[in-house]
């Protein structure tokens, strides 16, 4: 049951976290009923999708759910998210910055975003490198209708905790180095399989799917 899984996650946060932690529920392939059940258990949990099409099917105007977007985003689909999601966590190129800024101005909103960092510099994943982060944040400051408030870390699939922890520690060091100058609030780092380690390394936001909902049932709403 979701209730039992949530209780276990909260217990693990209590045991491992170095900072107050926000839970992001990755709702990919989960039904509206499952999402509503989780929301009834805790209205502090933020829902998140990684595909625009699936977000659009689940988004209901004027309900009490809060959404983030955590997947790779093409500029031509950004219009479906502006003003509807709290954070776009996956911003990683200037073209997307320009598009978000333009659409936000058009809709008279300030869209909040995170910069996505590809910790392992993997070619098949989005995100910039650690070394590019400060320059990218400088670039983002030029756009007045968006605000960067965090870093989202994507790591390689890695079972060796010693290797994985090096990515997490570098991410926390990067965050600490930049947070004051760029007013960063969140380090979004850790998913179902590795969130306990991420918490021990300084994450203050975890993105949890299967650990909350169980194995995906590939529901299509």
pLDDT tens string 82-115: 999 999 999 999 999 999 999 999 999 999 999 9
Say if residues 203 and 21 touch (Cβ distance below 8 Å).
yes
Task: Give me the pLDDT at residue 161, please.
Answer: 92
Task: Give me the pLDDT at residue 45, please.
Answer: 96
By CB atoms closer than 10 A (0-12, 13-18, 19+), residue 149 is middle
Alpha-carbon Rg for the chain in angstroms: 17
In this prediction the pTM is 0.94
Helices (H), 107-183: 133-140, 161-182
Helix, coil or strand: residue 185: coil
Under the banding of pLDDT at 50, 70 and 90, the label for residue 157 is confident
Domains and CATH numbers, the chain: 2-213 (3.20.20.10)
Whole-angstrom Cα distance, residue 183 to residue 59? Answer: 29
Q: What percent of the chain has pLDDT over 90?
A: 90
Task: Give me the pLDDT at residue 183, please.
Answer: 97
Give the residue-averaged pLDDT of 124-138: 96
Largest distance between two CA atoms of the chain: 47
Angle between helices 32-41 and 2-16 (to 10 degrees): 50
Q: Look at residue 192 and tell me whether its pLDDT is greater than 80.
A: yes
Q: Look at residue 220 and tell me whether its pLDDT is greater than 60.
A: no
Task: Give me the pLDDT at residue 91, please.
Answer: 98
Element (DSSP H or E) covering residue 105: helix 94-106
pLDDT tens profile 34-75? 999 999 999 999 999 999 999 999 999 878 999 999 999 999
**Distance spanning both ends of the chain, measured CA to CA:** 21
Give the residue-averaged pLDDT of 125-145: 97
Map tokens 């978000």 to a residue. Answer: 100
Under the banding of pLDDT at 50, 70 and 90, the label for residue 1 is confident
């Amino acid at each position: 049951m979701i209730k039992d899984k949530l209780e276990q996650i909260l217990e693990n946060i209590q045991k491992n976290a170095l900072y107050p932690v926000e839970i992001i529920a990755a709702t990919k392939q989960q039904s509206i009923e499952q999402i509503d059940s989780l929301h009834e258990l805790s209205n502090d949990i933020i829902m998140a999708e990684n595909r625009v099409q699936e977000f659009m099917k689940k988004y209901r105007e004027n309900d009490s759910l809060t959404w983030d977007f955590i997947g790779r985003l093409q500029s031509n689909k950004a219009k479906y998210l502006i003003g509807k999601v709290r954070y776009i966590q996956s911003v990683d190129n200037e073209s997307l910055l320009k598009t978000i800024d333009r659409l936000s101005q058009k809709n008279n909103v300030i869209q909040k975003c995170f910069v996505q960092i590809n910790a392992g510099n993997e070619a098949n994943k989005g995100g910039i490198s650690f070394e590019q982060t400060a320059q990218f944040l400088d670039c983002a400051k030029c756009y007045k209708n968006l605000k960067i408030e965090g870093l989202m870390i994507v790591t390689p699939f890695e079972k060796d905790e010693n290797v994985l922890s090096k990515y997490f520690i570098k991410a926390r060091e990067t965050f600490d180095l930049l947070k004051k100058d760029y007013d960063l609030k969140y380090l979004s780092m850790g998913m179902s399989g590795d969130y306990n380690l991420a918490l021990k390394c300084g994450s203050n936001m975890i993105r949890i799917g299967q650990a909350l909902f169980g194995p995906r049932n590939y529901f299509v709403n």
